[in-house]
Amino acid sequence: MAYNDDKINMVHGAGGEVMQDMIGDIILGNLSKTSVNGGIGLEALDDGATIPLDDDHVVVTTVDSHTVQPLFFPGGDIGRISAAGTLNDVSVMGVKPVALTNAMVISEGFPRSDLDTIMKSMNEACEEVDAAIISGDTKVIDQDKLDGIIISTSGIGIGKKEDIVTDAGLEVGDKVIITGSVGDHGMAIMSKREGFGYDTELKSDVAPVWSMVEAAKKVGTLTAMKDPTRGGIANALNEMANKSGVGMLLDEEKIPIKDAVNAVSEMLGIDPFEVANEGKVIMGVKADTAEDVLDAIQKTKYGKDAQIIGEVTEGKHVIMETVIGGERLIEPPMADPVPRVC
């Protein structure tokens, strides 16, 4: 297949197994130091890294480049996703994001008014979690070298050691919670790209997730967290199960999917489980606290559709009991079927 030759292809950036292989071989394979003070480092391939400062306190950091096309899409734009996406990777490590840095590569001729809109969107997302943009960089390059703008943001959070929740701590018997409907962002991007001739009410879910994480942590015991971005919930669930050495049994009926997402999904033949979400969290939660966590999340601004979608099992596979009574193996996609989704 095309991705087996010696060039980097689109599929290498698409958040699936092919990307994981490249990261392992070429990126991790060439680095000699990938963690500090015994913290969580690059090799964990978690949503963020930690640097322990002393016995109690840690800094969480993460970085993300945003190349989404189109730059403006139903429900958001590259500014909102550049802020929310990175704030969310800090949030799902279990600590409150406090700051972002922001590097923008802009193509010559880019409209000033669009940049103004993008900055307002970034600011709005930061305001939602009271995070600051504390440093940045801007570069402009030739028009024919870039279509529009690429934005790289890094995120910083500060917390206590016991706040940290990795994506690898699931234990048999834990309940699995998703904080809302699945596939909204990927399908909203696709509907815009394909230029459907009718108005779909489908919107991206792009939003900061910290309020949901904070609410969940107050009442429950969280064993693992991840935001199901590229590769969708199929990728995130498998990564969490795989890293934790467990399986999952999910109930299809409990997995929230909007009708509009199902409609676009059927029209394009794209699995909503395999496309990106930009305002959702998957959590592993101790069973005796799961109902309290669910209640708390459902009371937040973005969490009203949250559900307990299944539980952690022995074994290795993520299996879903389907509505019609069968079983379906949920596998990690080779790549997200929607390129340049974030």
Which residues in this chain contact Mg ion in the complex, by CB under 5 A? 47, 89, 227
The torsion angle over the Cα atoms of residues 136, 26, 67 and 158, rounded to 10 degrees, is: -40
CB of 212 to Mg ion, least distance (A): 14
Nearer to Mg ion, 45 or 219 (CB): 45
Angle at 173 between CA 167 and CA 174, to 5 degrees: 40
DSSP assignment of 53-105 equals -SSSEEEEEEEEEE--SSSEETTEEHHHHHHHHHHHHHHTTTS-EEEEEEEEE
CB of 62 to Mg ion, least distance (A): 8
Q: Which pairing describes strands 318-321 and 327-330: parallel, antiparallel, or unpaired?
A: antiparallel
Nearer to Mg ion, 89 or 278 (CB): 89
CB of 99 to Mg ion, least distance (A): 18
Distance separating alpha carbons of residues 120 and 139, to the nearest angstrom? 19
Work out the burial of residue 195: count CB atoms within 10 Å of its CB; fewer than 13 is exposed, 13-18 middle, 19 or more buried. Answer: exposed
CB of 185 to Mg ion, least distance (A): 13
Classify 17 in phi/psi space as left (phi over 0), alpha (psi -120 to 50) or beta: alpha
Instruction: Check if the beta carbon of residue 90 is closer than 8 Å to that of residue 156.
Output: yes
Nearer to Mg ion, 91 or 181 (CB): 91
Nearer to Mg ion, 77 or 89 (CB): 89
Comparing every residue's Cβ against Mg ion, the nearest one is 47
Nearer to Mg ion, 98 or 260 (CB): 98
CB of 58 to Mg ion, least distance (A): 18
Nearer to Mg ion, 217 or 230 (CB): 230
CB of 267 to Mg ion, least distance (A): 28
Minimal CA–CA distance to 286: which of 193, 239, 219, 336?
219
CB of 162 to Mg ion, least distance (A): 21
Nearer to Mg ion, 205 or 227 (CB): 227
Residue written as token pair 């009708």: 259
Distance separating alpha carbons of residues 287 and 118, to the nearest angstrom? 41
Instruction: Check if the beta carbon of residue 321 is closer than 8 Å to that of residue 327.
Output: yes
Give strand ranges (E) for 190-269: 222-226, 247-251
Nearer to Mg ion, 62 or 191 (CB): 62
Question: Mapping DSSP to helix (H, G, I), strand (E, B) and coil, where does residue 168 land?
Answer: coil
Kindly state the DSSP code that residue 277 receives in the 8-state scheme.
-
CB of 227 to Mg ion, least distance (A): 4
